[in-house]
Amino acid sequence: MRGWSAIFWLSMLSSVGHAQGVDLSFLQTRAEASNYRETTRYNELMGFLDVLDRSFDKIHLTNFGYTTEGRSLPLVVVGDVADASPEAVRATGKTRVFIQADIHAGEVCGKEAMLVMLRALAAGQHGTWLDSLVLLVAPIYNADGNERINLYNRPRQNGPVGGMGQRPNADGYDLNRDHIKLDTPEARSLVGFFNAYDPHVVIDLHTTNGSRHAYYLTYSPPLNPNTFVPIENLLRGDWLPSITKVIREKYGWEYYYYGNLPYPGMKADRGWYTFDHRPRFNNNYVGLRNRFAVLSEAYAYATFEDRIHATLYFVEALVDYAHNHASEIRAVTAAADSAVVIGTRLAVRARHHKSDHPVEILLGEASETKNPYTGDVILQREDVRHPEQMFEYGTFEPTETEVAPSRYFVPPSLAGVTDRLDAHGVHHSVLVSADTLEIEQFRIDSTRTEEKAFQKHHQRTVYGAYEPARVVLPAGTWVVPVAQPLGRLLFTLLEPRSDDGFVDWNVFDDALKVATVYPIFRQR
């Protein structure tokens, strides 16, 4: 969609009003208009969303924050709501489904698919969804990265041949590694959105260029072993299998759980390995917030057009299920919020768990072709399937656990900690006067930092053990109860041995320079 056409049609739509079922066949994404050689840019996307906002009274355009370079992060609210505010959305009492695309701006099929879906909604399709749901769509999360179009980004991916954006944001951060440390304004915007709108379901749209398989799309539920078990049971036991069957019967395409074969040099048995359990990743973070999360990974070597359709079909099937099971989804998340983890053993470190029996994995092939504009090799999915029986490493099991305490005590001097706890939405109170308490303190035996930087951090690991102590806590100390909806996340953030907590991300580095005791105390 070119700029002049957007302005022209906005003027035409002003006379049509906000009637449902407006003919929007004129409105195209850049992918569609370019025969899938190119992807939609930020300003074009904003113009596209503006047209939808003006064309349908159940679509409301707002924003949920800003990027490093100051671009507004658009949020489209679709539903029977008074306006796009968090208060209006939550007041409906309906199940809230959040769909996020373009966290990696070279993986653009989700962005294009969500524009197509929003256009369909504005044209009057999928109307029954809104009987039980409010949809929250963020089609361009890494907006700065999206604008860094380059024909050499993701070089072997099968299009768009006219280039795509880059993986990190404008400051070089991978936004799908920033859900814990919150180094970027984008990540802080996102967790602020989670706190305000509190979606029951989060769908995160990606593209994968891993092992050569026969699936058009692979997916993953939350992988952290501390996730509320009924959330995983519903996703693995019914939701994901049922929509896999729907896709197969409706389109003849195979979808399956995300995985890869061991890469060359990896010391592992042949099998189907999922990625990582740590909540730096979106779907695992959302799981520790007691919400349903689904990662979508369209296959990079399928054509750009097929990836868009594969993603669109997947989201439509997910939302159909959410519509038909809306009250059950709300009930499970409410139960998760009410569950108290105090006194239970939770994982602080974990490893892949091997399936009890081999499963059938559909491997595939890809042939080499060339980008017509660079001459570089790109890979084209071949329509072949090679079934192979192998063990699956699709879940995680604890390798180290710790008993969840009743509360943590955070000294007021640890501003980096309190700032991040507040940003994540963790509830707390503050001591108005000094108090002497019997607590547990973690005595540090040794500490190790990684030589190689990752996401601009030299990750830290501490070793030691808890011991009883009697301490004087100063006025201003944060008292953070674990008996709260974010108790599972809080445990991961503050436990010193956590493999993705604040210690790992150097938040405590200044305090740990000469410390022999971890500066946060806890009470059984």
Each residue's pLDDT tens digit, 293-331:
999 999 999 999 999 999 999 999 999 999 999 999 999
Query: What string of H, E and C letters represents the secondary structure of 313-377?
Result: HHHHHHHHHHHHCHHHHHHHHHHHHHCCCCCCEEEEEEEEECCCCCEEEEEEEEEEEECCCCCCE
Same domain for 157 and 287 = yes
Phi, psi of 96 (to 5 degrees): -105, 125
* Strand-strand pairing, 478-481 and 407-410: antiparallel
Same domain for 413 and 369 = no
Judge whether residue 267 has pLDDT over 90: no
Judge whether residue 14 has pLDDT over 70: no
Cα angle 235, 238, 244; round to 5:
90
Residue 8: which pLDDT band, with cuts at 50, 70 and 90? very low
Residue 25: which pLDDT band, with cuts at 50, 70 and 90? confident
DSSP code, position 172 = S
Same domain for 78 and 21 = yes
Q: Give the pLDDT mean for 239-260.
A: 98
CATH number of the domain within which 325 lies:
3.40.630.10
> How far is residue 523 CA from its own chain's centroid?
32
Same domain for 324 and 187 = yes
DSSP code, position 177 = G
Same domain for 446 and 493 = yes
Same domain for 149 and 185 = yes
Say if CB 185 and CB 64 are below 8 A apart.
no
Q: Give the pLDDT mean for 242-257.
A: 98
Same domain for 248 and 355 = no
Same domain for 452 and 320 = no
Distance CA 315, CA 309 (A): 10
Residue 514: which pLDDT band, with cuts at 50, 70 and 90? confident
Torsion over CA: 245, 246, 251, 253 (sign): negative
pTM of the entire predicted model: 0.96
Distance CA 441, CA 522 (A): 7
pLDDT digits (tens, 9 = 90+) for 60-73: 999 999 999 999 99
pLDDT digits (tens, 9 = 90+) for 411-428: 999 999 999 999 999 999
Last-in-domain residue among 297, 323, 341: 341
Which residues, other chains included, contact 72 with Cβ-Cβ below 8 Å and sequence gap of 6+?
63, 65, 66
* Beta bridge partner(s), residue 260: 273
Say if CB 103 and CB 175 are below 8 A apart.
yes
Say if CB 71 and CB 144 are below 8 A apart.
yes
Say if CB 493 and CB 421 are below 8 A apart.
yes
Distance CA 155, CA 225 (A): 35
Cis peptide before 160 (omega within 30 of 0): yes
DSSP string, 191-214: HHHHHHH--SEEEEEEEE--S-BS
Distance CA 275, CA 268 (A): 14
Q: Which amino acid is at 117?
A: M
Q: What rounded mean pLDDT belongs to the chain?
A: 95
Same domain for 154 and 65 = yes
Same domain for 369 and 448 = no
DSSP code, position 10 = H
Last-in-domain residue among 341, 369, 386: 341
* Strand-strand pairing, 255-257 and 217-220: parallel
* Beta bridge partner(s), residue 366: 381
Distance CA 120, CA 58 (A): 12
* Strand-strand pairing, 133-138 and 95-101: parallel
DSSP code, position 496 = T
> What pLDDT does residue 22 have?
76
Question: What number of CA atoms fall less than 13 Å from residue 519's CA on the CB side?
Answer: 23
Distance CA 218, CA 363 (A): 12
Element (H, E) at 89: helix 86-91
Say if CB 403 and CB 524 are below 8 A apart.
yes
Q: Which amino acid is at 175?
A: L
Phi, psi of 245 (to 5 degrees): -65, -40
Q: Give the pLDDT mean for 451-471.
A: 97
Same domain for 87 and 165 = yes
Residue 366: domain span: 350-396
Structurally, how many domains does the chain consist of? 3
Say if CB 145 and CB 138 are below 8 A apart.
no
Torsion over CA: 420, 331, 310, 46 (sign): negative
Same domain for 392 and 489 = no
Q: Give the pLDDT mean for 163-185.
A: 98
